[in-house]
Amino acid sequence: MMTELNQASSKNAQPVAQTQVAKVPVNVLIVGVGGQGVIMVSKVLASLCQQQGYEVKQSEVHGMAKRGGSVFSHVRFGEKVYSPTIPVGQADVLVALEWAEGLRWLPYLKPETGIFIADTQKIVPPFACRDRKHGAANGYAKETVADISQMISNCYAADAGTTAAELGNARAANTLLLGMLSTTLDFPESEWRDIISKFVPPKTIDINMQAFDQGREWVERYDPAALAQGQAEAGSVAQQPHQVQFELPVITEAWCKSCDICVKFCPERCLSLNENQVAELTKPELCTLCRICERLCPDFAISLNYKH
């Protein structure tokens, strides 16, 4: 088994699950953020393995089902599977629906031979937002695709979310990842398509099939050399700070009618009514330039001017 897998890693996306060698269970770890569809992806895979005659064990954490929590699912299949969980350093394939979640689970990947498939889309958790000002630094993982591919030889990171959105349904990103996964497991392509069609809503089958193709094509086009130079398509994971182009809110006192809307709606509580019952920016240092006060002032008394 080991030798087979070593060979596999030397070329692009050679199947790890050669049917004849599946005596040792194949471990696939699927991770992401609550609400993304980790469970759906793992169910597709588990059903497919079952159909192919393998014994499958799947265990998942969906305690974080509340949107935004970390969710993972272990899928193990082979002739005989005993434990439902994958030990650290034993995952043959790690599929990440979100970039930082992928990084979090990297220690589970088999050293040298493990295959890392990731969507580069970023879901910044609230606790990583240290400052709500536009363009402010946050605590999100700084590692780029280029960094990771230097550590892991089999790193396939694509901007699945954007590609799927361009196809017309952002949720098809999961299918795109399944397309990428399908190149690493030795199951017939048509079986993949059948099983995916059963799991996705009937109206979206077309888009999902296109996403599946895109995922497969992506792996075929994949060029690790370009990636190492940081020229990969997925380079967009690098931070692009939002340009602060607006000045602090300016209040036209003569127009303000003291309705209190801006004061109550400002998320940072920077506004208050002064002794003349006119709105005033009392805590300018907290203002994030979100423009909610400007939008909801019925008297057009607040404006955030564009910096020329």
CB 87 within 8 A of CB 109: no
CB of 37 to another protein, least distance (A): 20
Which lies closer to ligand SF4 via its Cβ, residue 172 or residue 302? 302
Distance, in Å, from the CA atom of 206 to the CA atom of 197, rounded to the nearest integer, reads 9
Q: Which residue do the tokens 């014994």 mark?
A: 55
Buried-exposed string 287-302: b where 16+ CB fall within 10 A, e elsewhere: bbbbeebbeebeeebb
**299 touching another protein, by CB under 8 A:** yes
**Nearest distance from residue 256's CB to ligand SF4, in Å?**
3
268 contact, one of ligand SF4, another protein, none, CB 5-8 Å limit per kind: ligand SF4
Tell me how many residues contact another protein (CB under 8 A): 26
- Our finding on whether 272 is near another protein (CB under 8 A) is no
- Around 5, how many Cα atoms within 13 Å sit in the side-chain half-sphere? 23
Q: Helix 189-199 vs helix 205-221: angle between axes, to the nearest 10 degrees?
A: 140
Asked if 282 interacts with another protein (CB under 8 A), we say no
Q: How far is the CB of 266 from ligand SF4 (least distance, A)?
A: 3
CA distance 57 to 20: 19
What sign has the CA pseudo-torsion 16, 174, 154, 87?
negative
- Got the DSSP string for 213-260? HHHHHHHHH--HHHHHTT-SGGGGGS--PPP--BPPPEE-GGG-----
Closest distance of CB 249 from another protein, Å: 13
Which one among 130, 257, 269, 283 touches another protein, defined by CB under 8 A? Answer: 257
Look up tokens 């689970």; give the residue.
105
Give the binding site for ligand SF4 (CB under 6 A). 249, 251, 256-262, 266-268, 270-271, 279, 287-293, 297, 299, 301-302
Query: 192: how many CB neighbours lie within 10 A of its CB?
Result: 21
One residue of 62, 142, 221, 291 binding another protein per CB under 8 A: 291
Please identify, among the stretches 21-29, 74-82, 143-151, 283-291, the one whose residues bind another protein according to the rule CB under 8 A: 283-291
295's contact among ligand SF4, another protein, none, with CB below 5 to 8 A by partner kind, is: another protein
Q: Taking contact as CB under 8 A, which single stretch among the options 18-26, 30-38, 198-206, 260-268 is the one that binds another protein?
A: 260-268
| Calpha distance 146→144 (Å, rounded) | 5
Asked if 268 touches another protein (CB under 8 A), the answer is: no
The yes or no reply on residue 269 touching another protein (CB under 8 A) is: no
Q: Is 82 in the site for another protein (CB under 8 A)?
A: no
Residues found near another protein in the complex (CB under 8 A): 134, 245, 254-261, 263-265, 289-291, 295-301, 303, 305-306
